[in-house]
Amino acid sequence: MKKLGQNFLVDGRVLARIGDYASLNEEDRVLEIGPGTGNLTRILSARAGKVYAIEVDPGLASALEGRHPNVVVMRGDALKAPLPDYNKVVSNLPYQISSKITFRILKRPFDLAVLMYQREFAERMVAFPGTKEYGRLTLNVSFRAEAEILEIVPRGAFRPMPQVESAIVRLLPRKTPIPVDEKAFDDITRVLFSTRRKKVKRSLASMGASLGALSRIDPQILDRRPQELTLEEVALIARTISG
């Protein structure tokens, strides 16, 4: 039964591969968001030391409780509930919270995440500069982590069958942080991509950037449009404007 807009992954081969991608062992403490009927939970519990499964639907949570001795079922909204002590995140995410929950995960320490997204969303996460998929999501993810699409999952792997394809994405936190204040970076990407058709110079001027700050940025960068900028160039802009 479909609840809260979630489609449940039922293909055993895909479920097993998700477990493989996560490279789980008995030392791992896994966070699973939206376990639903527990198909992935079963794979995780067999491979990890402990699984924390956060489920907002009371009926689904009740059905999971007591099923696996190393699974702690947590009732609540994963966007608001206190999160446990985990080192990996493995989930078939409810797609309606994909962006918000991704950035909640990225703001906490973890070793690795293997997450299922709508294919279109995943392709935006890993897009290259100059493509139509490239945007604020791409930059804000890559600022914090390395993202890679591991495989495309067909609609038939889910019940009920969704209208879109899905993708399994691996996230690895950046070993070396980008040298710029996180809030300054987020503010700059928000401004640039709220007016993505404008050239960078006009967008920065509209946010009140001083002529002195603009003069310290390469004119070739200022003459581009936001979707043409690399991560390093956006970081450079953020450092210059905020400094």
pLDDT, tens digit, for every residue of 209-234? Answer: 888 999 999 999 999 999 999 999 99
What is the per-residue pLDDT across 172-195, written as a single tens digit (0 to 9) for each? 999 999 999 999 999 999 999 998
> Taking Cα atoms as reference points, which of 236, 92, 81, 113 lies closest to residue 159?
92
* Whether 41 and 147 share a structural domain: yes
Q: Is 87 labelled as part of a ligand binding site?
A: no
* Whether 105 and 144 share a structural domain: yes
Q: Is 7 labelled as part of a ligand binding site?
A: yes
Residue 1 lies in a domain: no
Q: How confident is the model at residue 5 (pLDDT cuts 50, 70, 90)?
A: low
What are the residues whose beta carbons fall under 8 Å from the beta carbon of 25, sequence distance 6 or more?
47, 48, 49
Q: Is 40 labelled as part of a ligand binding site?
A: no
pLDDT at 161: 95
- Name, of 4-8, 94-98, 136-140, 208-212, the range with top average pLDDT: 136-140
Give the residue numbers spanning the domain of 193. Answer: 182-242
Query: Which of 205 and 124 is assigned the larger pLDDT?
Result: 124
Whole-angstrom distance, CA of residue 74 vs CA of residue 18: 22
Q: Is 92 labelled as part of a ligand binding site?
A: yes
Query: Which of 211 and 19 is assigned the larger pLDDT?
Result: 19
Mean pLDDT of the chain: 95
Q: Is 26 labelled as part of a ligand binding site?
A: no
Determine the average pLDDT of the residues in 14-30: 98
Any idea which of 5-9, 102-106, 217-221 has the lowest mean pLDDT?
A: 5-9
> Taking Cα atoms as reference points, which of 148, 156, 216 lies closest to residue 12?
156
Say if residue 165 is exposed, middle or buried (CB neighbours under 10 Å; 0-12, 13-18, 19+).
middle
pLDDT at 2: 41
Determine the average pLDDT of the residues in 101-116: 98
- The helix (run of H) or strand (run of E) holding residue 139 is helix 136-142
Question: Global pTM?
Answer: 0.94
Among 173, 204, 227, the domain-final residue is: 173
Q: Is 186 labelled as part of a ligand binding site?
A: no
Q: What is the CATH number for 129?
A: 3.40.50.150
> Taking Cα atoms as reference points, which of 160, 138, 164 lies closest to residue 228?
138
